[in-house]
Amino acid sequence: MSERNQLSGAVPSRDMENLEPVELTVGGNEASDLLPVHAPEVLDSYGWRRAFWTVLDEGPVEHSIALLGERESGRWDAHLLAAEVPPAVAGRTEDAEALAYRDGYIYVIGSHFGAKRGPLRAKRAFVARFREADAATAHATHLDVARNQFRLHRAVNDALRASTVESLRPGAGVRDRFITATISRGTAKAKSWVGRIAVHDVPVNVEAAAFTPAGTLLLGLRYPVSDTGEPLLVELSDVESLFDADESTLPEVCAVRVLDGVTPPGTLTGMRALCAREDGSYDAVVGSIDALGKDSVLLADHPEGGDVTCRHVRFRLPETAPRVPAEAVLELTGFHNVEGVATVDGTVYYVTDEDHRIAIWRYPLTAA
């Protein structure tokens, strides 16, 4: 590993205070991401003092958006968002992974990845959005859903190839299962998207997202990582192009960035969560590139990316430099499954995926 691949100083390592685990009344749920609710109408309608959005990655996006809210008494509630989508896309998405807020709208981004052993799945290549304040009503909230047919995959791979940041090249198993198998499947079924997957591509696993003050969208990648094992961020200048009906339009990736100082020597770390802060900085969680014990092709090729404890880090984006210095905030000792992070009123909240439940944890940050 490069000398850059070093931890940035001493890191607090303490147990987090466990809030009441929040259980949803749907089976097989697994929480991804944590985004503070901005619309006061939503808080008022449920009687909450604070609340967060999360997504469940086991079903289509219209059945996967949830609210987690805390009452003045300290009791937590959980509600699935009643959502509706156009008939043409109903049931045709899966694996929602990331949330981001901009100008009154919540954006939901699919992983653009595949199952643990591939191939890539077009159902996971989507972006959706809805007006947050609409969730305060008793009516179903309308979702705009764009299934981008691997346009984002193509744009990210082109940007990685052109960037000065070197990404880790996939091993033979990853290339065979995620790239070659996807091309073969798409060709056999005469899919319109098959030309957007090239034999020398890397599979892209989107795990986190946040808008910048300039309106660009940062996407945190769990895979690929840099050639020295560090997490990658790609920045989209025109996320609205993903909602363009013209399938020839590719989103513009205006920057590829790499997080410095967050990866233990000899390991690979990917992005697991990302949240914009009011002061213009970002909170993030980094950790393993895939889960252990689930027959992952990624870990078969890159075992050093598996047994990695999550850590909370913070950074600001430099204006032009591709390397982003990050500082450690908290070592999340014993945690491999932190899926979301958000700092509110000096307290940091995390969400973890548990067996058939969603657990929220909090930690007071005196220097937040």
Ordered DSSP codes for 170-193: P-HHHIIIIIIHHHHHHHHTT-TT
Residue 234: predicted pLDDT: 98
Residue 24: predicted pLDDT: 61
Rg (CA), the chain: 19
Pairing between strand 83-84 and 141-142? parallel
In the chain, where the domains are located: 17-364
Residue 17: predicted pLDDT: 59
Q: Is 156 exposed, middle or buried (0-12, 13-18, 19+ CB in 10 A)?
A: buried
Number of other CB atoms surrounding residue 237 within 10 Å:
16
Checking if the pLDDT of 8 tops 50, the result is no
For the chain, percent of residues with pLDDT exceeding 70: 90
**Which two three-digit tokens encode residue 83?**
């959502």
H/E element holding 148? none
Q: What are phi and psi of 268, to 5 degrees?
A: -115, 135
Checking if the pLDDT of 5 tops 60, the result is no
Q: Span 17-364: which CATH code?
A: 2.115.10
Q: How would you label 186-206 residue by residue, b for 16+ Cβ within 10 Å and e otherwise?
A: beeeebebbebbeeebbbbbb
Number of other CB atoms surrounding residue 28 within 10 Å:
10
Can you tell me the distance from the alpha carbon of 224 to that of 166, in angstroms, rounded to the nearest whole number? 10
Q: Is 128 helix (H, G, I), strand (E, B) or coil?
A: strand
**Which two three-digit tokens encode residue 60?**
């289509």
pLDDT 10s digits, 278-303 = 999 999 999 999 999 889 999 999 99
Checking if the pLDDT of 9 tops 50, the result is no
Residue 92: predicted pLDDT: 96
Q: What is the pLDDT of the chain when averaged over all its residues?
A: 90
